[in-house]
Amino acid sequence: MLPIFPGSIDAAGQPATLGVLGGGQLGRMFVHAAQRLGYFTAVLEPDPQSPAGQVSHHHIQTDYDDPAGLRQLAQLCQAITTEFENVPAQALQTLALTRPVAPGAAVVGIAQNRIEEKAHFTACADVSGVSCAPYAVIETRAQLQAVQEKRADLLPGILKTARMGYDGKGQIRVKTAGELAAAWAELGGVACVLEKMLPLTAECSVLVARGWDGRVVSFAPQRNVHVDGILAVTHAYEGNMPLDLANSARDAAVSIAQHLGYVGVLCVEFFVVDDGSPHGGLVVNEMAPRPHNSGHYTLDACDVSQFDLQVHAMAGLPLPQPRQHSPAIMLNLLGDVWLDGSGQLQEPDWRPVLSLPGTHLHLYGKLRALAGRKMGHLTITGPDVASVKTVARRAAGLLGLPGLDAI
């Protein structure tokens, strides 16, 4: 496609405008990145108080599959992206009839369905060098019975819904065939994947960006710590994991993006398992066709953020190889920070946290704090890893954040 240059005006007098489906915090940070370059922005999101809608030039307040809303978005924008993978793939197909859409509907559709996603990972394992955990598909009672009788090797395992699972939702751990049947019933008998539980030693993720011309750039892998299925801490600095493992993860993520013909920012998440080798082995877990929570540190620790690359990729601009200038640790801020011991809302005392050196507070503009809801993040940067860890521990202690022992 031809580049859509920032600040340009078309023959009808319309400024260069980029659109996004979804109004959450990822959309908000995309909008900020696009506006810094001089683009106008449009957000399609039904929530009238959405974080991205609050800061965009245009807020189209309709459902994601509303025909009139999609037409308006296409009329306003020269290119369109999405901020989350559960937007209807059909909406992206409709928009792609008249506008460049990155990532495309087919790729988003794969990421929406764990069955298709795992089939893709398996198909490109020979090229990427990394496969997913052993698994079985359970869509019918007959398949459930077959797994119970013939795939005892998958237990203990984790039963995951094929669709709409995130942040630990739609997942149940099972140890026996009986627990598997009960869990499938509890999840409503919907299509699921049973994954074998592996001896994990760590989790990591890699962010890559691929342009329309096939050029790929990437960030170094970040090591992640989850608490109750939700990302709590991201370690982003040299030495956060063994170099050979980091290189393998980056190469695998690039291969997966190339195999998909992907355009935009892609996050690939990996497990590090204890396979008897000195540093363990890699297993690909899942992918997100968008910027990712684990990449928020790039806003403060890199010369180009994941959202800058999202803008560049969808608009057909050159993709610069990002450079990280500071070691960083990112701490997720969930709604629990706003709740006291009795569950009552209280505003956190940010003063002692913001007085710490190298702290960067990002709040997402959400008006209601709920337990487990992502309200913001705190990134700590510094001249060296030791000082960053010291400040991160102090900040986590002041805010009562989980994962303190993992910093």
Consult the annotation and say whether 114 binds a ligand.
Answer: yes
195 in a labelled binding site: yes
Q: Is 114 a member of any domain? A: no
The answer to whether the annotation marks 286 as part of a ligand binding site is yes
Strand order in the sheet with 192-196: 135-138, 192-196, 157-161, 171-174
119 residue type, one letter: A
DSSP secondary structure of 108-120: HHHHH-HHHHHHH
Backbone angles phi, psi at 298, to 5 degrees: -65, -20
What CATH number has the domain bearing residue 340? 3.30.470.20
198 assigned ligand-binding residue: yes
Residue 80 belongs to what domain range?
Answer: 17-101
384/271 same-domain check:
yes
Domain boundary among 101, 126, 143: 101
> Up-side HSE of residue 12: CA atoms within 13 Å toward CB?
6
Q: How many domains does the chain have?
A: 3
Q: Are residues 319 and 352 in the same domain?
A: yes
Predicted confidence at residue 75, as pLDDT, reads 96
- 362 shares a domain with 217: yes
Q: Is 366 annotated as a binding residue?
A: no
Same domain, 297 and 187: no
The verdict on whether residue 238 carries a ligand-binding annotation is no
Q: Are residues 223 and 314 in the same domain?
A: yes
State whether 181 and 77 are in the same domain: no
Is 160 part of any known ligand binding site? yes
Tell me which residue of 327, 385, 376, 322 sits closest to 354, measured CA to CA.
376
> Helix or strand or coil: residue 373?
coil
Let me know if residue 317 belongs to a domain: yes
pLDDT along the chain (407 residues), means of 10: 85 89 98 97 97 97 97 97 91 96 95 93 86 93 92 93 76 92 93 93 97 97 94 97 94 94 97 76 94 98 98 97 98 95 88 98 95 96 98 96 86
**Was 173 annotated as part of a binding site?**
no
Confidence at residue 99, expressed as pLDDT on a 0 to 100 scale: 97
> Domain for residue 118, yes or no?
no
DSSP H/E element including 23:
none
128, 284 contact by CB (below 8 A):
yes
According to the model, what pLDDT value does residue 344 have?
86
pLDDT (0 to 100) of residue 280: 67
Q: Is 224 found in the same domain as 76?
A: no
pLDDT, residue 165, reads: 66
Domain-terminating residue out of 196, 227, 249: 196
Q: Considering the domain boundaries, does residue 2 fall inside one?
A: no
Residues 93 and 222 in one domain: no
Residue 167 annotated as binding? Answer: yes
Question: What pTM was computed for the model?
Answer: 0.94
- 118 assigned ligand-binding residue: no
Give domain status of residue 115, yes or no. no
Asked if residue 170 belongs to a known ligand binding site, the reply is yes
151 and 22 housed in the same domain:
no
Whether 379 is in a domain gets the answer: yes
Q: Is 175 known to sit in a ligand binding site?
A: no
CATH, residue 177: 3.30.1490.20
Say whether 171 counts as a known binding-site residue. Answer: yes
Q: Is 203 annotated as a binding residue?
A: yes
Structure tokens given for 347: 């505003």
Contact 254, 321 (CB under 8 A): no
